[in-house]
Amino acid sequence: MGEVDGMDGVDEVDKIKKMAGYLGAAVVALVATCALACSHQGGHGMTHDFSDVDKWVAAFDDPERAAWQKPEHVIALMGFEPGMTAADLGAGTGYFLPFLSKAVGPGGKVLGLDIEPNLVEHMNKRASKEGLSNTEAGLVQPDDPGLGAGSVDRVLIVDTWHHLPDRVAYAKKIAAALTASGRLYIVDFTLESERGPSPKHKLTPDAVIAELEAGGLAARVVDEELPEQYVVEGRLTAPLP
């Protein structure tokens, strides 16, 4: 989603050096390296505070977003059929919920899932206010999409994949949640985009494909018309045991 500020790794290293000075240079170096990895989380996820709903509504629901996000185009890429079940993981303020609700129709179901309780509450209020009777929001954990086995036809993850702490493990859980013909769509910022996280936290499409494949999914880049983002599709390679 938005850019994430890590902890101050330098301060963490200094504290560790003071505490562990008697252990010797080798041990200090090892522990300091771990502190940096844990504070910045390397390429293995980013942390942020999404509790201020008004702040994120202003950012995520900015009317100008439609010009570069092209939500109708993203939905068209996903190949929906009436009656499907769709999950939006890291749904934030629920920007995509109205589009997903329309795509699956009255007989379908949409799940807006997020790790922030305040955003989940906001999405449920939004669904009620906008008459999205086939839509509900739910709270999930950062390392678990909270989806039942074979329960979803389409999973959408927009500007969120780079936040996840262990993306391969997460991909395995999504694979288990997909129906036999289910699809996962990851939409994230290109390296060239000025939007989104800092360059060091962005992921290339090839990196995302490698993570999905390690998680048991076949993956490919989808042709799209987005000026700031790419789309990667994941699908099951074979029925899961």
> Do the domain assignments include residue 15?
yes
pLDDT in single tens digits along all 241 residues of the chain: 333 333 334 344 444 444 444 334 333 333 333 332 333 333 355 556 667 777 757 777 788 999 999 999 999 999 999 999 999 999 999 999 999 999 999 999 999 999 999 999 999 999 999 999 999 999 999 999 999 999 999 999 999 999 998 999 999 999 999 999 999 999 999 999 999 988 999 999 999 999 999 999 999 999 999 999 999 999 998 655 4
Q: Rg of the chain over CA atoms, in angstroms?
A: 19
Burial 25-48 (b: 16+ CB within 10 A, else e): eeebeebbeebbeebbbeeebbee
Q: How far apart are CA 231 and CA 193, in angstroms?
A: 14
Please tell me whether residues 76 and 163 are part of one structural domain: yes
Structural domains in the chain (count): 2
Please tell me whether residues 119 and 188 are part of one structural domain: yes
Domain range spanning residue 173? Answer: 53-236
Please tell me whether residues 78 and 183 are part of one structural domain: yes
Please tell me whether residues 18 and 61 are part of one structural domain: no
Q: Which of 85, 45, 101 is nearest to 183 (CA)?
A: 85
Please tell me whether residues 24 and 80 are part of one structural domain: no
Q: How far apart are CA 9 and CA 73, in angstroms?
A: 40
Contact 152, 124 (CB under 8 A): no
